[in-house]
Structure 1
């Protein structure tokens, strides 16, 4: 993380110099949540114009269920991975529906749920070990769709962007979103108790890394940049 941070700061400042010409920015560098926050703070862009690639985690969750259940991803709804883009990410097991049925109704027991979560969390590492390199093709497709999203063709896979609420103050993480012609916007999310525990853990991981970046000097304290973002923030309802 600390090795990528200087480049994110430099990139954010470069964007600030041409801010009026920038429509939206998608951060791919890892950890994408924190690098996205650095870009946002140093660029001075509005929160809806800066987002990070976290949709691959949701894609892996959907592909895991598709393979195990023998169904197409088109038959799924609310299959989301939220929070952080690291080992603390939170696949929303109770929210997921396949042909309208919950995972429990489809016969997936707690042991298999644990295996699905492990598979989703560490899929990126597995790909790296298999190929000897990162799977750059998949991010490229998602980034293109995010950059080209419009009102007519919105991108509705959960995306990481700036978030501030009582639960998760001054942070940057993945929640249900919609990217349209005007940028990335939060949607409301309804969680079960165990999903909220997982989501809290994911955002705690982001907060820990954020504090490391502040201590290292790559991010200022929130009091130095929160006023600009508070004017434009979109609060997401956590139930």
Structure 2
């Protein structure tokens, strides 16, 4: 079996449903034979290890551990789903305190054991602030760490495909920006349905608001339908992000990235932007939208600033002016 690279890929939280799906997706896509499974829950991660070996992927060199030093040492690529899962009735923000403490430890492990890592993807919620926390504590450059945001856009794409009865990949430009949560900004102005602008499709304002609501509540709906939070879709999207960072096909759906941009007026946050992830890291561009859409994005940014202040007040990260003491790249 041919692999994209031989570099070590570390899956954090590999004993869980998202983590185990990431392991399988990475092997099926042929990213690397060298995959380390890390989790604090030994029976779970051991079970995933056994199952992956029993898949008998040719050439695979799968290991597992509950020791962070063993896990992180020599890792060149990392995906972490190692936070607490979202349960019914919880918002992403409810998870903030506990998961940001986990993110801080995760970042410290990167700094201590694998400072030469190439790229890191953080996908546990609330991803905007867990990823920001991890970045501050890791010492990495901003273009080396991203968070999962594409899932909101693929949910919007799905809803529009169902609305107009077209194959999902015929819906283009269906993107959400800002926060990966209920304050996300849902953009319509760049959407095309089989090449035709959404504005020409006769979609009423009332129906658009319903589609926006369905997109924002997409994660909650999965919990209602399946009795647990999403795991297959975040796993696949995260693996495609790390594949791009390994030198595979560039990832062009929105990703959460660090933005500190005077021109755009967005300062010191992780947020979903128009992005491309490739072997050189993540690169963002200015969002294009109507004045109303850009106003929604501004509101989403302000919400992210409030969440950032919460983790500062909880002493999970220092005040902004002190971030350089932990990470000289910020």
TM-score, with normalisation over the residues of structure 1? 0.92
Give the Cα separation in 2 of the matches to 1:168 and 1:154.
25
Give the Cα separation in 2 of the matches to 1:55 and 1:100.
21
Give the Cα separation in 2 of the matches to 1:217 and 1:191.
36
Q: CA RMSD in A?
A: 1.5
As a proportion of its length, which structure holds more strand? 2
Give the Cα separation in 2 of the matches to 1:184 and 1:89.
20
**Residue equivalent to 1:99:** 194
The answer on 1:192 being equivalent to 2:317 is no
Q: Alpha-carbon deviations, 1:128-175, whole Å to 9, x = none?
A: 122111121111111111111155510100000100123111111000
**Residue equivalent to 1:233:** none
Give the Cα separation in 1 of the matches to 2:227 and 2:209.
27
Partner SS, residue 125 of structure 2: coil
Q: How many aligned positions are there?
A: 230
Give the Cα separation in 1 of the matches to 2:138 and 2:158.
35
Match runs of 1:8-157 below 5 Å: 8-149=103-244, 150-157=246-253
CA contact (8 A) 1:52 1:161 kept: yes
CA contact (8 A) 2:256 2:270 kept: yes
Q: Which moved more, 1:115-124 or 1:66-75?
A: 66-75
CA contact (8 A) 2:122 2:146 kept: yes
- Corresponding residue to 1:176 among 269, 274, 279: 274
**Residue equivalent to 1:224:** 322
Q: Which has the higher contact order (CA 8 A, sep 6+)?
A: 1
Note the residue ranges of structure 1 that are not aligned, 5 or more in a row. 231-239
Partner SS, residue 25 of structure 1: strand
Partner SS, residue 283 of structure 2: strand
Give the Cα separation in 2 of the matches to 1:121 and 1:111.
16
Give the Cα separation in 2 of the matches to 1:16 and 1:159.
23
Report deviation, 1:83. 0.6
**Residue equivalent to 1:160:** 256
Note the residue ranges of structure 2 that are not aligned, 5 or more in a row. 1-95
Give the Cα separation in 2 of the matches to 1:30 and 1:189.
23
Give the Cα separation in 2 of the matches to 1:152 and 1:219.
34
Report deviation, 1:22. 1.3
Partner SS, residue 328 of structure 2: helix
**Residue equivalent to 1:204:** 302
Give the Cα separation in 1 of the matches to 2:98 and 2:139.
22
Report deviation, 1:72. 2.0
Give the Cα separation in 1 of the matches to 2:328 and 2:208.
41
Report deviation, 1:21. 3.4
Q: Alpha-carbon deviations, 1:25-46, whole Å to 9, x = none?
A: 1111110000000000000001
